[in-house]
Amino acid sequence: MSKKTVTSITNREIDFSQWYTDIVKKAELIEYSNVKGCIYFKPNGYGIWENIQKIVDSKFKNLGHENVYLPMFIPESLLQKEADHIEGFAPEVAYVTQVGNEVLEERLVVRPTSEVLFCELYKSVLESHRDLPKLYNQWCSVVRWEKTTRPFLRTSEFLWQEGHTVHDSAKEAKAHTLTMLDVYVDLFENYLAVPVIKGIKTEKEKFAGANSTYTIEALMFDGKALQCGTSHFLGNSFAKAFDVTYTDKNNKLKSPYQTSYGISTRSIGSIIMVHGDNNGLVLPPKIAPTQIIIVPIRQNKEIVQEKSLQIKEVLSKLFSVKLDLSDKTPGWKFNEYEMKGIPLRIEIGPKDIENNSCILARRDTGEKTTVSLDNIENTVSNMLDSIQKNMFETARKRRDENIREAHTFDEFTNIIETKQGFVKAMWCGDVACEEKIKEITTASSRCIPFGSSKINDKCVCCGKDATKAVIWGKAY
């Protein structure tokens, strides 16, 4: 069978998991590696990540971040210095034990995250309160050996950014944690068109070693939750464990307060699962590597080629545009670029040219419109804006419709069994209830959302007094 034939994909309402696998392969985002849970990012997949990087890097730099690069290897003894941290990561780290023919004296851990390395770096960098705050960020890959893996969502190696900062006060560090959470909200909602709920993680779900973990949670088309980004207030426990100090204004030795935060290539998974449909991937214009595909009709006519090239030239000044002049049929091309999720298709043939027009086909709604070639760049620009907006609104509407309140445990289990989606329910704060809910319903606490109003006064699990409204859901 030809690798390039556009073949149909599994129906997403019938087998969502297979549909996802079909998309990542047929939209040519990845290939599977022979190494468990590792993937090859192909140009279509990596191009999305490059766009996300550009957006995030620029936002980070505007906020005063500087990029650094730290080693991928952590001596085992170093990772063990912060007890909670190592406990959280030990089961899933990869160890380098040998180099050439030589067995190493101390095993090296391939970084699962770099808190301990940033502590080492800050130790050598910090001297006085004048050096604070310092906002460092790193783009790299990290390794966490997971039992169950799936492209983008959970891979043995993944790409991410990890921000790590040091501050003079807990207050400032906490505020920064929230500032960065908002940067992630902005990225997901305004660029990836993925609506998110922001809140704080419970003690059980927080990052290993953190004081508190803030999160953004999104709802996928199948009703499952995806944690899209986290921002941690670390207190000064890492700094203390690693002897990171500076002299404050009163010339006293102090440990700085730290934060860390990250988003990863998992974000690509969220785009697929929020926007994709039965024709393939659907990419928001703001992060699509190719925003517009031009498909000429009866391209053997000279005028059609000429006009197509002309339109391409005009639009390329403002957008990322491709023109397909291959000998495939227009129908084949339509399917192919729908599969790849290109937000806007321009069809142009002899008849259109006679009328000084072309056809715009939106990927999000499938709608076709005949428009004038005059001022085509404005028309296209408006349509891309409209696609971006519509994709977000559609996703938000679906998400909102799938947040359901549960006042009793029966209601809770019933929602999870019959409807999926997010469940909003009160919680007493006892980890025993949280664990029981997870055990029985398989739904975990996603977050305690900011500014969320109470729906009643009793824990949905034990019936005791409860003040916290929690968002629960089955999660990836």
Residues at the site binding a copy of itself, with contacts judged by CB under 8 A: 2-4, 31, 33-35, 38-43, 46-47, 49-50, 66-75, 78, 90-101, 107-108, 110, 117, 120-121, 124-125, 127, 130, 136, 140-141, 143, 145, 156-157, 159, 326
Nearer to a copy of itself among residue 46 and residue 409 (C-beta): 46
Nearest distance, CB of residue 139 and a copy of itself, angstroms = 9
Q: Tell me the residue type at 319.
A: F
Nearer to a copy of itself among residue 75 and residue 223 (C-beta): 75
Nearest distance, CB of residue 166 and a copy of itself, angstroms = 14
Nearest distance, CB of residue 184 and a copy of itself, angstroms = 22
Nearest distance, CB of residue 440 and a copy of itself, angstroms = 28
In 3D space, the residue among 187, 203, 235 whose CA is nearest the CA of residue 49 turns out to be 187
Do 284 and 271 contact (CB within 8 A), yes or no?
yes
Nearest distance, CB of residue 364 and a copy of itself, angstroms = 25
The CA distance from 415 to 65, in Å, is 43
Do 338 and 332 contact (CB within 8 A), yes or no?
no
Nearer to a copy of itself among residue 158 and residue 412 (C-beta): 158
**What kind and span of H or E run contains 354?**
helix 350-354
Do 109 and 76 contact (CB within 8 A), yes or no?
yes
Nearer to a copy of itself among residue 47 and residue 276 (C-beta): 47
Nearer to a copy of itself among residue 77 and residue 278 (C-beta): 77
The CA distance from 300 to 235, in Å, is 67
Nearer to a copy of itself among residue 94 and residue 403 (C-beta): 94
Nearest distance, CB of residue 328 and a copy of itself, angstroms = 10
Do 94 and 143 contact (CB within 8 A), yes or no?
yes
Nearer to a copy of itself among residue 11 and residue 67 (C-beta): 67
Query: Is the link from the previous residue into 195 a cis peptide, with omega within 30 of 0?
Result: no
Nearer to a copy of itself among residue 67 and residue 316 (C-beta): 67
The CA distance from 61 to 137, in Å, is 9
Nearest distance, CB of residue 347 and a copy of itself, angstroms = 23
Q: Tell me the residue type at 262.
A: G
| Cα separations in angstroms, 384 against 53, 324, 350, 378, 452 | 21, 20, 25, 10, 33
Nearest distance, CB of residue 274 and a copy of itself, angstroms = 23
In 3D space, the residue among 429, 461, 476, 454 whose CA is nearest the CA of residue 204 turns out to be 429
Residue 98, class by beta-carbon neighbours within 10 Å (0-12 exposed, 13-18 middle, 19+ buried)? Answer: exposed
Do 167 and 257 contact (CB within 8 A), yes or no?
yes
Nearer to a copy of itself among residue 152 and residue 422 (C-beta): 152
Can you name the residues that pair with 444 across neighbouring β-strands? 473
Do 427 and 445 contact (CB within 8 A), yes or no?
yes
User: Backbone phi, then psi, for 139, in 5-degree steps?
Assistant: -100, 125
Nearer to a copy of itself among residue 96 and residue 431 (C-beta): 96
Nearest distance, CB of residue 44 and a copy of itself, angstroms = 9
Nearer to a copy of itself among residue 250 and residue 453 (C-beta): 250
Nearest distance, CB of residue 242 and a copy of itself, angstroms = 12
The CA distance from 220 to 237, in Å, is 35
Q: What is the DSSP string of 326-342?
A: SSS-HHHHHHHHHHTT-
User: DSSP 3-state assignment of 393?
Assistant: helix
Nearest distance, CB of residue 419 and a copy of itself, angstroms = 36
